[in-house]
Amino acid sequence: MVKIASLKTYFDELEETNGDDECRAWLSEIFDAKIELAEFVADRRRGGPATEYVGFLKGSFNLSFRFRFSDGGPDAIIRFPKPGHTAASLRDEKVANEVRVMECISKNTTIPVPHVYSWGFTADSPHQFGPFIIMDYIHGTLLSTILKQPTESDQEDIVLSSDIDDAMVDKIYRQLASYLVQLSQLVFDSIGAISKENDSDTWSVTRRPLTYNMNELVTVAGCSNHVLPIKPFDSTSEYLEFLGEQHLAHLSAQRNIADDAEIAQARFIARHRFRQLISKYRMDDSGPFTLFCDDLRPSNILIDPETLQITAVLDLEYTNAMPAQFAYDPPWWLLLSGPDVWLDRGSVEEFQALYEPRMEQFIRALEEVEDVLSEGKQPVSTLEALDRSNSCDTWPVSQRENQK
C-alpha cells in the first residue's frame, strides 16, 4: 500500500528554476526604475508628486512598490504580478479579474479592500514591466502573524498557536464569517470570471475561470495552456468534469509526477475515482454560483493588532463565480496550514483532533452572523448548509481541485 505521505506532488524543478530565473531578471530591471515608477504612480493617482520611496513588498506572486506623496494623502503602492511565478500568458488576465472583483466587492459588501486609483495592462506600463494596480497602502499586521505558533525559522510550517485565546479567535471568526456570508449573496448564472455590464451596476460571468491551481499547472508543473478552460461553465457537473480531465492532463504532462510505478498507479486511480464521484457528491448542478476565492487565507488578510479589526482583504486575483457547494465547505485555513501539511507528515489523526474544534467554533460564529443579518427571518444565505461532517474524513469539494 502506498503511504499517504508519499503522495505529495512536488514542483517540476526545471520549470520552477526557469520561472525563478525569469523573475530574477525582471526584478533587476524593475528595481532600477523606481524613480520612473514613482512619477508614473503620482501621475495616475492624480494628487501631489511622490516625495519618498518607502519600500517594497514581495509575495508569492506579486511585487509592490510603496510611495509617499506631498499632498499628505495615504501612501500608495503599485503592484505587478511577477513573471515566472505568474504565467506570462495569464498576467494581464489575472490583474483584470482582480480589479473587477475588488470593485464588485467594494460596491456590494462591507469587506475591506484597498481603494484602486488606476490599473492597466502590460502595454500600459512603463517599459512594459507588466499589468499593474495602483492602490492605497493599507496599514496592518498579517492575520497569520497574529494567529500562528511561534517558530524558530521562517522555513517551518505556519500552524495555529496551541495556546491562542478563544475570545480573540471568536472576534476574528465573526468578521471572516460575515465576509463569507456576504460573498455567498453575490449570485451568478454560470461559473467563471466576472465583470460589470456597460453603464450599469449589473455584474455577470463573462470569461473563463482562472484559479490558483491553473496558474500552478502552467508555471511549475510543465503543463501547456491547453489544460486551461476556454470559456465559462454553465453547470457544476460540466466544471467538475473539466477538472477531472485537467487532473489527467497533469498526470501526463509533469515529468516528476511519480517516483515509481506504484505511486504512478495510485495517482492514476485517484484521478479516475475523482471523476466517478462527481455525480454522487455534486450539489445544485445548475446553480446558484457564488464568489469564491482560492487564496482567501490569513496570510492575505491585514488586521489591526490592537483592536483585532480586519483592515484589508488582499490578493483576490483567483476569485471566480463557483458552485455554491464550495462555500458550504469549512475553510481549509482554520489551522493556517492546510490538510496537506498533516498528510505529508502522516498525521491525519492529529489534524482531525486539532481541526474539528476550530471548525465547530467557526460554524458557531457563522450561525451568529447569519442570525444578526437575518434579524429573526430565514437565514440570509445558504451557508447554514455548511456540513459539520466535512472534516478530514471527507475533505471538501473545493479542495479537491488542487492536484495531489
pLDDT of residue 215: 97
Say if residues 222 and 323 touch (Cβ distance below 8 Å): no
Which residues partner with 116 through β-bridges?
135
Q: What is the CATH number of the domain that holds 370?
A: 3.90.1200
Rounded average pLDDT over 206-221: 97
Q: Say how many domains are in the chain.
A: 2
Range of the domain at 94: 13-136
217 shares its domain with 121: no
Diameter of the chain measured on Cα atoms: 66
Together in a domain, 264 and 126: no
> Are 261 and 333 part of one and the same domain?
yes
For residue 11, CA distances in Å to 156, 220, 265, 343 come to: 19, 5, 19, 17
* Boundary of a domain, candidates 136, 171, 201: 136
In three-state secondary structure terms, 387 is coil
Cα–Cα distance measured from residue 346 to residue 292, given in angstroms and rounded to the nearest whole number: 29
Does residue 66 have a pLDDT over 60?
Answer: yes
The answer to whether position 54 is within a domain reads yes
pLDDT at site 64: 99
The runs of H, that is alpha helices, within 148-260 are: 166-184, 212-220, 236-253
The span from the CA of 68 to the CA of 53, in Å, is: 7
Q: What CATH number corresponds to the domain at position 126?
A: 3.30.200.20
Its sign, for the CA torsion 269, 274, 278, 281, is positive
In sequence order, what DSSP letters do the residues of 299-336 get, joined into one string?
GGEEE-TTT--EEEE---TTEEEEEHHHHHSPPGGGGS
Q: Is the predicted pLDDT of residue 400 greater than 50, yes or no?
A: no
How does pLDDT run across 236-286, given as a tens digit for each residue? 999 999 999 999 999 999 999 988 899 899 999 999 999 999 988 888 899
Q: What is the pLDDT of residue 403?
A: 44
Of 98, 102, 100, 62, nearest to 79 by C-alpha is 62
Across the chain, mean pLDDT equals: 91
Last residue of a domain, one of 102, 136, 170: 136
Residues 130 and 203 in one domain: no
- 44 lies in the same domain as 71: yes
pLDDT tens sequence across 40-63 = 999 999 999 999 999 999 999 999
Strands 301-303 and 310-313, sheet pairing: antiparallel
